[in-house]
């Protein structure tokens, strides 16, 4: 199994997606909402997968690994969308 602690990965990807989304909203408000959510939602899962694959010579991803990665992308997208609805950074352009 590639992923040793799926709960920690889900939590880290969810928190990372919300943080990336709010940082992108604050620092680059010209990016449209769909693109911002796509980047923020999938970025932490892709980065963590790359970090896990990079240290090994050969990798076997089981169904559980794929399920956890899909869940982390889903939770990341939900956190990205939810963080915009409930928290708006100061001096950011409001998204419609």
| 62 phi, psi to nearest 5 deg | -85, 175
Q: What is the pLDDT of residues 6-49, one digit of tens each?
A: 899 899 999 999 999 988 888 887 888 899 999 999 999 888 88
| Nearest one of 20, 63, 27 to 41, comparing CA atoms | 20
- Joined together, the tokens standing for residue 72 give 């982390």
- Joined together, the tokens standing for residue 68 give 């956890």
Q: What is the pLDDT of residues 51-89, one digit of tens each?
A: 888 888 888 888 888 899 999 999 999 999 998 888 766
């Amino acid at each position: 199994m590639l992923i040793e602690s799926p709960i920690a990965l889900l939590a880290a990807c969810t928190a990372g997606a919300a943080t990336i989304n709010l940082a992108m909203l604050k620092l680059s408000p010209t990016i449209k909402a769909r693109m911002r959510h796509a980047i923020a939602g999938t970025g932490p899962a892709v980065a963590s997968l790359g970090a896990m694959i990079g240290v090994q010579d050969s990798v076997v991803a089981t169904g559980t690994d794929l399920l956890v990665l899909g869940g982390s992308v889903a939770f990341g997208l939900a956190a990205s969308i939810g963080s915009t609805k409930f928290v708006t950074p100061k001096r950011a352009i409001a998204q419609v």
